[in-house]
Structure 1
Amino acid sequence: MKLKKETVFLRTYGDTDFITGLRAVAATMVVMIHTAALSEFGAIGQAITSAGKYGVDIFFVISGFTIAKTFTEARNYSSYLTRRIMRIVPLYWLAITLAMLLIVVGALPFPYWMQELGSEPNLYNYLMHLSMASFLDYKVANSVLGVEWTIPIEVFWYVFLPPLLYFAKTVYRTIGAFVFFHFLSKFLFGISEDMFGTVLPITWSPAAHGEMFFIGATSFYLRARFKTEPPAGSGLWIGGAVALFALALVAGSGRASEALAFSTAILIVCVTPDRAKWVTRPLTSRPMLFLGSISYSLYLFHLPIMSLLGELNLLPGFGLAKFMLVYGTTVVVSMATYALVEKPTNRLGLRLALGAK
């Protein structure tokens, strides 16, 4: 994906800058649920906080869009995959390594899922994470950072989504693939419950989230189709998507995941700076572009940072105060990791991709 321009902490992509703002929203949602940000503010505050877990679905939809776009623009599959891997893997390896070391030396307590599922911070756990194969063993899949289960899923779909899109070829076939993976995940959840007594082996696997990546890929194809001529009633579609997004946050519905995914996809399809300034202006403000640019670091590091603050007895008991402290501290750390790790490795990925045959 070619950047239009870039400053120290702002990545911009022209008419899709608002997607960077959506990344900021998704990362903030995830931090909110882990810090119980608004849990003291009644039913609505609790619903918004609880909806934070669906921030990963927004990330997955955006990733599906990015995969389809990057693959379409790449010279070949090797070039595409090099860019994607270098975008996500180096920082992930760093986060896993640092967290594992801190756990081993006792600076951090065993994370929740490590305790809950009885895994250990051993070489097996470490290598399963580094190899991106951790989703094959649910007892280690989310045992180090508390959020890392999503990264091997992203890498899996980096590898396999482009070939599947090649065979799908049309929007309708891509939608058909979404439907297939939707029902496949429901089927596998039932099998997992029967075999293991838990749905975690499927929840933390690529099969459970394939539908989100295909929603994102479909949004890329539809956006390309409507680039010059907006879809009929695009203003209503955009307004409806924003309303659906807000409703999913406050209603606490069991369908919030799908509602947030589809509303994100509709915005990706329909929004341009000329069509919906009331949406793009807040999402492309400098603070939102800044937070969206460092959102990957925000996502990876906020739980270890919260754990470290807890060990130092610095965490306030009030949810909103806890959110503000954890979020602010993680932003500072993320600025460093973005400048020192993400930007250099992204540039290296670009150079390697240009040399890929």
Structure 2
Amino acid sequence: MTVREKVDGVSVIPASSGTRLPSLTSLRIVAATMVFVHHAMFQPLFSNQGVQNAYNKFANNLGPLSVMFFFVLSGFILTWAAKPHDSLKHYYRRRFFKIFPNHIAVYAILLVLMFVAGRAIPWPQALVSLPLLQAWVPDFNYQLFAINPPTWTLSVELLFYLCFPFLLILVNRIRPSRLWLYAGLVAVAAALMPVVSRLFLPDSPATPVSASLSWPQLWFIYYLPVTRMFEFLAGMVMARILLTGRWRGVRPLVIVVVLVVAYVATLPLKLFEEGYQVVFLLPLALVITGAAAADVAGRRTVLSSRGMVWLGEISYAFYLVHITVLFSLQAAFNHQWGLGGMFTSRPFGTLPAIAFLIGAYLACVFVAWLLYVLVERPVMRRWARPKQARPAETPLAAP
């Protein structure tokens, strides 16, 4: 049974109640799968150009949508899991060992593969991406042509993790009756970033991935960690809404249907190229909160099933390896190395291409499981927490 109490006459689910949110763990693999589907469009898979165009149209907006999903989800989960007597030292320790061992392991493997393949190693990008600082560099090559390109999002998450203990103090000071107002204000602030970019940043140089935005404008909207902070804050505020009993019980299925309809309606738009992925900020925040509310209420859903939770547990490893596995398998059919997507693609017929996508996805799951079992889980068990718990000298501010 969920433990509840009254605070200022409002039903509250205390953070110390220990309520687990398996659906949010599962949502990570949903977001990672969307990234996989999105990246599969960059090297043509379908020999039928009409089918390839349809796939590109469907998958194009999944990339920005899934990245925002991750950012909102991080803010929600960290706020929900914050403990009253946790310390800054222990919090940063857990974050470090959760992020860096997997990242460094994949980074090292890719360096070895590049050496074996005879590829020139871009050392400036390599050295900046090792400590996950590449998103701060206003240069296209640092985001998309680093050793492991998807890690630019970890560069953004790193800022979130560093700032979270201090943001939590501010978010906890918001009166419960004003939380929905602040959720709206955060969404408005995020929506203003494309406007600010177009008004104040130069129209050149151009970027090959957008016809309407210059590279400085696109970098400011999409890659700069500071401007993505609003998505993380949205997740934090939504977690407080649920914790303070301000969630009104909208079923996740209803929200998902609305999100799918919105996604289909925006297929003609190119959210990444235009910088308007922010239109999905509140719908994604509602999906995440609705899924968490279902867990709190004890409702069984597909997301809370054992298989989905297991996939969610390996999702971070999946995210790190998916683009290398996908491109390497595709390049292997043409007797090439697929590192960094630098290969000549050989398209398949429609059914073989679908079979390849399924097979490549399962291969990513297998490699991710190996990374999880051999690196992530042992490291987290061995070093993420001190052997003897000590009283926290500098506690995190918990809801």
TM tier, smaller: 0.7 to 0.9
Larger radius of gyration: 2
Equivalent pair of 1:19/1:268 in contact (CA under 8 Å): yes
Identity %: 21
Alpha-carbon distance change, 191 to 14 in structure 1, aligned in 2, over 3 angstroms: same
- 2:355 aligned with 1:321: yes
1:219 corresponds to: 238
Corresponding residue for residue 386 of structure 2: 351
Match of 1:333 in 2: 367
Give the TM-score normalised by structure 2: 0.71
Structure 2 vs 1, CA of residues 238 and 335 (structure 1 numbering), >3 Å: closer, same or farther? Answer: closer
* Superposed displacement of residue 309, structure 1: 1.4
User: Which residue is 1:250 aligned to?
Assistant: 264
Q: Does 1:145 align with 2:154?
A: no
Letter in 2 for 1:284: S
Check the 8 A contact 1:17/1:289 in 2, yes or no: yes
* TM, length-normalised to structure 1: 0.79
Per-residue CA distance 1:164-209 (angstroms, 9 max, x = gap): 3323431355654554344245423654553543144322220331
The alignment status of 1:188 with 2:191, answered yes or no, reads no
1:264 Cα deviation from its structure 2 partner:
3.1
Residues in 2 aligned to 1:102 and 1:190: alpha-carbon distance in whole angstroms: 43
SS in 1 for 2:148: coil
In structure 2, relative to structure 1, the CA distance for the partners of 1:188 and 1:96 (3 Å cut) is farther
Once residues 337 and 258 of structure 1 are traced to their aligned partners in structure 2, the CA distance between those partners, rounded to angstroms, is 33
Q: In the alignment, is residue 302 of structure 1 matched against residue 326 of structure 2?
A: no
| Distance 1:178-1:207 versus aligned 2 partners, 3 A rule | farther
> Which residue matches 1:5?
none
In structure 2, the residue matched to 1:87 is 98
Give the secondary-structure state (helix, strand or coil) at the position aligned to 2:301: helix
Q: 1:221, 1:240 → 2: CA distance? A: 21
Q: Which residue of 2 aligns with 1:286?
A: 306
Contact 1:65 1:217 in 2 (8 A): yes
TM-aligned CA deviation for residue 269 of structure 1: 2.7
Q: Secondary structure at the match of 2:149?
A: coil
**CA distance, structure 2, for counterparts of residue 72 and residue 189 of structure 1:** 41
1:51 corresponds to which residue?
61
Q: Distance in 2 between matches of 1:195 and 1:182?
A: 22
Alpha carbons of 1:281 and 1:70: their partners in 2 closer, same or farther (altered >3 Å)?
A: closer
More helix by share: 1
Q: For the Cα contact (< 8 Å) 1:179–1:211, is it kept in 2? A: no
Residue 219 (structure 2) aligns with:
201
Deviation at 1:336, TM superposition (A): 0.6
- Could you give the per-residue CA deviations for residues 117-171 of structure 1, whole angstroms, max 9, x where no partner exists? xxx6243322211222212223222322231110110011111233133234313
Deviations 1:29-78 (A, max 9, x none): 11111224899769875554223212111111111112323444551222
Letter matched to residue 264 of structure 1: L
What is the 5 A alignment of 1:51-200? 51-53=61-63, 54-73=65-84, 75-106=86-117, 121-137=121-137, 138=139, 139-143=141-145, 144-168=147-171, 169-170=173-174, 171=179, 172-173=181-182, 176-184=185-193, 186-188=195-197, 191-197=200-206, 198=215, 199-200=217-218
* 1:31–1:323 CA contact under 8 A, matched in 2: no
The structural deviation recorded for 1:284 is 1.6
Aligned length: 327
Structure 1 residues 98 and 188: alpha-carbon distance in aligned structure 2, compared to 1, 3 A threshold:
farther
Residue ranges of structure 1 left out of the alignment (5+ in a row): 1-12, 110-119
Task: Determine whether 1:35 maps to 2:69.
Answer: no
In the alignment, the residues of structure 1 paired with residue 284 and residue 163 of structure 2 have an alpha-carbon distance, to the nearest angstrom, of 22
What is the CA–CA distance in structure 2 between the aligned matches of 1:132 and 1:247, rounded to whole Å?
A: 35
Alpha-carbon distance in structure 2 between the residues aligned to 1:134 and 1:352: 34
Q: Closer, same or farther in 2 for the Cα pair 1:353/1:272, shift >3 Å?
A: farther
Distance 1:99 1:88, change over 3 A: same
Measured after TM superposition, the shift of residue 274 of structure 1 is 7.0
Deviation at 1:220, TM superposition (A): 1.0
Distance verdict in 2 for CA 1:188–1:98, change over 3 Å: farther
Q: CA RMSD in A?
A: 3.2
CA change 1:44–1:74 in 2 (3 A) is farther
Provide the rounded CA distance (Å) in 2 between the counterparts of 1:40 and 1:290. 36
Aligned twin of 1:18: 23
Matched residue type, 2:168: L
For residues 216 and 55 of structure 1, the distance between their equivalents in structure 2, rounded to whole angstroms, comes to: 14
SS in 1 for 2:62: helix
Q: Distance in 1 between matches of 2:191 and 2:310?
A: 34
Bigger drift between 332-341 and 35-44 goes to: 35-44
